[in-house]
Structure 1
Amino acid sequence: MDKKLKKIPMIKIGGLNNSNYLIELQNEKYVLRIPSNDTSNNFYSEHEILSLIKKYNISPEIAYHNKDNGILLSKYIDSTKFNLEFYNSNTFINNLVTTLKKIHCLECNNYFNPFNEIYNNIDFLNSVNFIFNHDINLLVTKLKDLEIKLCKKIHYGLCHNDLNTSNILSCNNIVYLIDFEFSGMGDIFFDLATISWFLKDEIQDELIKKYFGYFDIELKQKLKDYLYVVKLWNATWSYKKSIDSKSDYDYRLGGNMILDDLINY
């Protein structure tokens, strides 16, 4: 399968951690995802999750997935172009919640602990003498306090764990999710907080209301607390990528921009 794909014309359509290409096979459009060589993602776990969600219309139809190297071929979906106005619309939030509640009700054998992930990232960065532009110890102290608080009550479910806009597609009032390399069981607020990163405050309230059927201050505070966790995870992940990435994207700058925001959070 991999050798055959090399002979088919491919149009690059973006990708940060992966390279994505639009291809046409037998008059059908597909997206070919080729992971970067420096990735350490668990594609065996992703394969399990793709099989699990297959019947729930959560992700585009999968034609091929290699659980050893992560190469994936899926049906192309002509998604609505995202902008802040669309992202902050009630229509998008309603459709997104419908999809999220489908996946959050499922169970898999993989687990994702964002706190451990962040601590491990920082340990690695310290081991290679990475120079932080911010007081990382201050940020970790805040994280440890949040970990104690947030682990007292967990809203447990199968989470995507990387819901940036490049992993969300919207077509005909249906929201689809792609790229499940980081997915696993955990607190669904990690997903909700990732979504909330670029939501207006009142739309964050709407997200809570649509998801839970009601709104209260406790849920809103948990969302805010998890947004700190999400941002610190993204920053430390970016720093790790900056060490040996061949991408033109400046991962270190991306991490610094996140921590500029978190240092006074």
Structure 2
Amino acid sequence: MPSNRINTILQNYASWGLASSAKPQLLRQLEGGLTNQSFLLQLADECYVLRLFSPHSQQLNINREAEYRIASIAAQQGLSPQTIYLAPDHSYSISRYLDAELFNHSALSRAEKLQRLAQCLQQLHSIHIDIELPQLIVSEKAQHYWQAIAQLPAAAIYLQYKAPLQQYFKQLPVLAPPVLCHNDLVVENILLGEQGLRLIDWEYAAMGNPYFDLAAVIINQQLNAENEQLFLGSYTKSVDLLALQQAKLQVRYLECLWWLMQSPLNKNFVQQLLQDLLLATGLEGGEFQR
């Protein structure tokens, strides 16, 4: 636990704009989060979350200003905990703590949970955005990741996959118009409490393809065919199956590159992911299959 850094942050609590003269108390570190560290704070009778951002935010192509703006928009729509403060140097943020459990741990039936999640995403994707926000273009995001991967000690092992994969994902159509998307719907980022379903950790959020969010849910929740149909049917009456399949590949692509940057020493695991992706996209040996 980076105690010196946290103590310095807590000493500057007056800048957070909260109507309290009480000094915040550090309660404990919160579980989850491979990129950032989160801590539970208590200030008077309220609890807050301190998120210490990774020093590798730039390497991961994360825009903290955009993240905070999007999280604030989502909070106004009841889709995310209230945002409180973003440090001027973008090193940490403060948000209101939500007493909730992981979506997967809820006692609700699988069907009801999936219906609620579909409705949540439907609401998110329907938000009218009248400010300029980043847009997720998968091949461009991947290019940032590949630049970081090129600095790894065993980069040559992985870079052989770059050209065919980038060529494939660049030629996929970009759905228009883009909508506000979360883009990181892993199980740890979906909470369910008394106030309903909430999404957290908006660092990859951007304008983009709604099918990317749908695909992320299907993959990360490991939905079988029946549950996938239930989830999609709760979201829309008309599913573009080709767009969904392409989005599933896009999700797997970015997740694979992200894992490579996070766990570069697990060579066999990552190589297998890349090889599986080549097969799934119809690529083999660095060339398109005809």
Q: 2:277 aligns with which of 245, 254, 262?
A: 262
What is the aligned-residue identity percentage? 22
Counterpart residue number, 1:2: 9
Counterpart residue number, 2:110: 89
Measure the CA separation in 2 of the matches of 1:263 and 1:120: 20
- Change beyond 3 A, Cα 1:24–1:124: closer
Shift of 1:64: 2.4
Question: Normalising by structure 2, what TM-score?
Answer: 0.74
Counterpart residue number, 2:198: 176
Measure the CA separation in 2 of the matches of 1:240 and 1:21: 24
Q: 1:98 aligns with which of 116, 119, 126?
A: 119
Measure the CA separation in 2 of the matches of 1:257 and 1:31: 37
CA contact 1:194–1:227 (8 Å) conserved in 2:
yes
Counterpart residue number, 2:28: 11
Counterpart residue number, 2:20: none
Measure the CA separation in 1 of the matches of 2:101 and 2:217: 17
Counterpart residue number, 2:143: 119
Shift of 1:190: 1.1
Q: Does 2:216 correspond to 1:194?
A: yes
Measure the CA separation in 2 of the matches of 1:258 and 1:79: 33
Deviations 1:156-182 (A, max 9, x none): 201111111111111137211111111
For 1:212-251, list aligned pairs within 5 A: 212-215=236-239, 219-242=240-263
CA contact 2:103–2:113 (8 Å) conserved in 1:
no
Q: Does 2:185 correspond to 1:163?
A: yes
Counterpart residue number, 1:209: 233
Shift of 1:132: 6.2
The alignment of Structure 1 onto Structure 2 pairs a total of residues equal to 254
Counterpart residue number, 2:171: 148
- Change beyond 3 A, Cα 1:145–1:262: closer
Instruction: Report SS of the residue matched to 1:213.
Output: coil
Counterpart residue number, 1:49: 70
Measure the CA separation in 2 of the matches of 1:207 and 1:144: 31
Shift of 1:28: 2.0
AA matched with 1:115: S
AA matched with 1:209: G
Instruction: Report SS of the residue matched to 1:199.
Output: coil
Measure the CA separation in 1 of the matches of 2:195 and 2:163: 40
Shift of 1:136: 4.7
AA matched with 1:150: P
Counterpart residue number, 2:45: 27
Q: Does 2:83 correspond to 1:62?
A: yes
Instruction: Report SS of the residue matched to 2:25.
Output: coil
- Change beyond 3 A, Cα 1:83–1:7: closer
Deviations 1:188-227 (A, max 9, x none): 1111111110222221222221111245xxx233222211
Shift of 1:116: 1.3
Structure with larger RCO (C-alpha < 8 A, sep 6+): 1
Counterpart residue number, 1:246: none
Instruction: Report SS of the residue matched to 2:279.
Output: coil
Q: Which runs of 5+ in 2 are unaligned?
A: 1-7, 14-22, 281-290
Instruction: Report SS of the residue matched to 1:209.
Output: helix
Q: CA RMSD in A?
A: 3.1
- Change beyond 3 A, Cα 1:116–1:53: same
Deviations 1:63-110 (A, max 9, x none): 323253252222222323454897981211111122212221232422
Shift of 1:17: 0.7
